[in-house]
C-alpha cells in the first residue's frame, strides 16, 4: 500500500492530539514485573511472576514512580523493569507509602533515560482530555484515552475510609496492567498515577500532588529531615476495603455470594497486596472482616482506629464463602 502522511492541513493532523502526546512520552513508560526467585516455573525453569504493572521514569539516572501495590511482594522477590526498546534492568524498591499507594524503584542505566514532566491538577477541568498509558503484560504503548469526570472525587465517596485522599475520575480505562502508569494531559505532563478501575467507564488516578509530596518526604528522609506532624511510623495491612452497607450486601447476595442472613456490618476486602501482612496472614479478596481482637467491625473506620493503636497482632474473624474463619495478621510499619 502507498504510504500516507498526516500533513499539517489534514483532519488527522488536526485531531490526532492523543497520538502527539503518545509520541512524546511513550519512551519513558516502563513495564514492571515482580518475580519470586525461589519459585521456578516447572516447564521453563525461570522465576514465577507474582505481579506486574506499569511505571514511568522521572529522573534520567533511573528513578521510576509507580503504585505501591504493584511492587509489594515477598522478601524473596525480585523487581525487573523492561524499557519500551526491550532493555531489561534489575530494580530496587527505594521508597514506599501504602497509605497513598505510591512507590519508587531505582534502576542503574548506562545512559541517561527519557523522563516525564510532572504537571499539576490546579487547572485541570472536568471534560478535559487525558490519556492513561502503561505496559500491561509487557505490551508497550498501551494507551486508553478519555475525559476527566471529576478532579476531586474523595476517598469517602468511594467508601475507602481512612485514606483521606482525593482522586481524579476518568472514563479512560485503567486496568491492572496500566496501574502505576501515568495519566497525561494534552501538554504531555503527568497529572496523575493510574490507580484503579471501579467499573467500565469509571476509573481513578492519584493526583500528581500526592506524588510530589511523597517524593519530597523521601528526599528529606535521605537528608535526615524528620517530617513534621508525625508521631511515629504508620502501620498498614495491605488491603483495600469497603464498609458494608445495605446496598453492598444486597449486591453481594445478588451475585450469589454466600452472605449470612444476620450479617449487617463489617468490611468487604476488595483487594489484597501481594506480600503484604494481610496476604501473609491468609486474607483474600472477597473476605468479609467482622471483628478484630473481639471488637465488632462497624466499618473501615473501626479498622483504622485499631491500626492506630499499639496492638501488635490482629486476630480477625472473617466470613469466606459463608464460612466463619479465623486469621492472624501482624501489621508492619510504613514511613
35 domain residue, yes or no: yes
Whether 2 is covered by a domain: the verdict is no
Same domain for 69 and 121: no
Looking at residue 273, which CATH number applies to its domain?
A: 2.30.42.10
CB 80 within 8 A of CB 55: no
What is the predicted pLDDT for the residue at 68? 86
Mean pLDDT, to the nearest integer, of 11-27?
82
Domain shared by 17 and 68, yes or no: yes
- In whole angstroms, what is the distance from residue 107 CA to residue 85 CA? 16
Same domain flag for 270 and 193: no
Q: Strands (DSSP E) along 142-276, which ranges?
A: 142-154, 166-170, 182-184, 189-199, 202-207, 234-236, 239-243, 267-272
Q: What's the pLDDT at 76?
A: 52
Mean pLDDT lowest for which of 146-155, 170-179, 254-263? 254-263
Q: pLDDT of 59-99, one tens digit each?
A: 999 999 999 888 876 545 789 999 998 899 999 888 888 77
Q: Over pLDDT 90: what percentage of the chain?
A: 39
Residue 245 has pLDDT above 80, yes or no: no
Is 287 designated active site? no
For the cut 60, the answer to whether the pLDDT of residue 242 exceeds it is: yes
pLDDT top residue among 123 and 2: 123
Contact 73, 50 (CB under 8 A): yes
Active-site choice (69, 140, 243, 287):
69
pLDDT, tens digit, for every residue of 269-297? 877 878 889 999 999 988 999 999 999 99
Nearest-angstrom CA–CA distance, 318 and 241: 13
Banded model confidence at residue 260, pLDDT cuts 50, 70, 90: confident
Look up residue 65 and give its three cell numbers. Answer: 514512580
> Is residue 5 included in any domain, yes or no?
no
Listed range (178-192, 242-256, 304-318) with the worst mean pLDDT? 242-256
What's the mean pLDDT in 255-273?
81
Is residue 227 in some structural domain?
Answer: no
Q: How far apart are CA 116 and CA 101, in angstroms?
A: 20
Same domain for 147 and 175, yes or no, is: yes
pLDDT for the residue 183: 96
Quick one: average pLDDT of 211-239? Answer: 69
Last residue of a domain, one of 82, 106, 130: 106
Please answer whether residues 288 and 277 qualify as being in contact, where contact means their C-beta atoms are separated by less than 8 angstroms: no
Q: Residue 257's CB: how many other CB atoms inside 10 A?
A: 15
Largest CA distance in the chain: 73
The answer to whether residue 252 sits within a structural domain is yes
Q: Which three cell numbers stand for residue 61?
A: 539516572
For CA atoms 126, 127, 131, 137, give the dihedral sign. positive
Structure confidence at residue 234 (pLDDT): 63
Structural domain harbouring 164:
117-214
Distances (CA, A) of 151 to 121, 165, 183: 8, 12, 13
Is 29 within a domain? yes
Asked if the structure places residue 69 within a domain, the reply is: yes
* pLDDT for res 221: 66
Per-residue pLDDT, 1: 40
pLDDT, one tens digit per residue, over 192-207 is 999 988 778 889 999 9
Residues 18 and 51 both lie in one domain:
yes
Could you say which of 77, 179, 203, 243 is catalytic? 179
* Span 126-148, average pLDDT: 84
Task: Report the distance separating Cα 129 and Cα 270, nearest Å.
Answer: 29
Q: What is the mean pLDDT of the chain?
A: 82
User: Which grid cell is 285?
Assistant: 479478596
Q: Give residue 226's pLDDT band: very low, low, confident or very high (50, 70, 90).
A: very low
Q: Is residue 220 part of a domain?
A: no
175: pLDDT strictly greater than 50: yes
Gap between the Cα atoms of 53 and 178, Å rounded:
6
Distance CA 267, CA 279 (A): 16
Residue 57: pLDDT band with limits 50, 70, 90: very high
Q: Are strands 182-184 and 202-207 parallel, antiparallel or unpaired?
A: unpaired
Tell me the C-alpha distance between 41 and 162, whole Å.
Answer: 39
pLDDT above 70 for 223: no
Q: Are residues 122 and 165 in the same domain?
A: yes
Instruction: Answer yes or no: do 126 and 99 share one domain.
Output: no
Separation CA 19–CA 6 (nearest Å): 11
Cell of 33: 514485573
Q: Which residue, of 106, 125, 146, is where some domain finishes?
A: 106
Does one domain contain both 125 and 84? Answer: no
Domain count along the chain: 3
Are 105 and 92 contacting, i.e. CB atoms less than 8 angstroms apart? yes
Q: Which of 54, 101, 140, 203 is catalytic?
A: 101
Active-site residue 179, yes or no?
Answer: yes
Domain boundary residue, one of 68, 84, 106: 106
- For residue 281, what pLDDT is reported? 94
Whether residue 202 sits in one domain with residue 161: yes
CATH number at residue 42: 2.40.10.10
- 268, 235 in Cβ contact below 8 A? no
* pLDDT on residue 199: 78
Shared-domain flag, residues 192 and 168: yes
Catalytic annotation on 97? no
Residue 173 has pLDDT above 70, yes or no: yes
Amino acid at each position: 500500500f502507498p504510504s500516507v502522511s498526516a500533513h499539517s492541513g489534514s483532519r488527522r493532523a488536526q485531531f490526532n492530539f492523543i497520538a502527539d502526546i503518545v509520541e512524546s512520552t511513550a519512551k519513558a513508560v516502563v513495564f514492571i514485573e515482580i518475580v519470586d526467585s525461589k519459585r521456578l516455573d516447572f516447564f521453563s525453569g525461570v522465576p514465577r511472576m507474582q505481579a506486574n504493572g506499569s511505571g514511568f521514569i522521572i529522573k534520567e539516572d533511573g528513578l521510576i514512580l509507580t503504585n505501591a501495590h504493584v511492587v509489594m511482594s515477598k522478601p524473596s522477590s525480585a523487581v525487573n523493569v523492561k524499557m519500551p526498546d526491550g532493555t531489561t534492568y534489575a530494580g530496587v524498591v527505594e521508597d514506599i507509602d501504602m497509605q497513598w499507594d505510591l512507590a519508587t524503584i531505582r534502576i542503574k542505566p548506562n545512559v541517561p533515560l527519557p523522563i516525564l514532566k510532572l504537571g499539576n491538577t490546579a487547572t485541570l477541568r472536568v471534560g478535559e482530555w487525558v490519556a492513561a498509558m502503561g505496559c500491561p503484560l509487557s505490551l508497550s504503548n498501551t494507551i486508553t484515552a478519555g475525559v476527566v469526570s471529576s478532579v476531586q472525587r474523595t476517598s469517602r465517596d468511594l467508601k475507602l475510609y481512612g485514606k483521606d485522599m482525593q482522586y481524579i475520575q476518568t472514563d479512560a480505562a485503567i486496568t491492572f496492567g496500566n496501574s502505576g502508569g501515568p495519566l497525561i494531559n494534552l501538554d504531555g505532563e503527568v497529572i496523575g498515577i493510574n490507580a484503579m478501575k471501579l467499573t467500565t467507564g469509571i476509573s481513578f488516578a492519584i493526583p500528581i500532588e500526592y506524588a510530589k509530596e511523597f517524593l519530597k518526604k523521601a528526599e528529606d528522609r535521605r537528608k535526615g529531615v524528620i517530617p513534621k506532624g508525625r508521631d511515629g511510623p504508620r502501620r498498614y495491612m495491605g488491603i483495600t476495603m469497603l464498609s458494608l452497607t445495605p446496598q453492598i450486601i444486597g449486591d453481594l447476595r445478588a451475585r450469589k455470594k454466600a452472605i449470612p442472613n444476620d450479617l449487617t456490618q463489617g468490611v468487604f476486602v476488595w483487594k489484597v497486596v501481594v506480600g503484604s501482612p494481610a496476604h501473609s496472614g491468609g486474607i483474600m479478596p472477597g473476605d468479609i472482616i467482622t471483628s478484630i481482637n473481639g471488637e465488632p467491625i462497624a466499618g473501615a473506620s473501626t479498622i483504622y482506629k485499631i491500626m492506630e493503636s499499639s496492638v501488635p497482632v490482629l486476630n480477625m474473624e472473617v466470613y469466606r464463602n459463608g464460612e466463619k474463619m479465623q486469621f492472624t495478621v501482624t501489621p508492619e510499619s510504613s514511613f
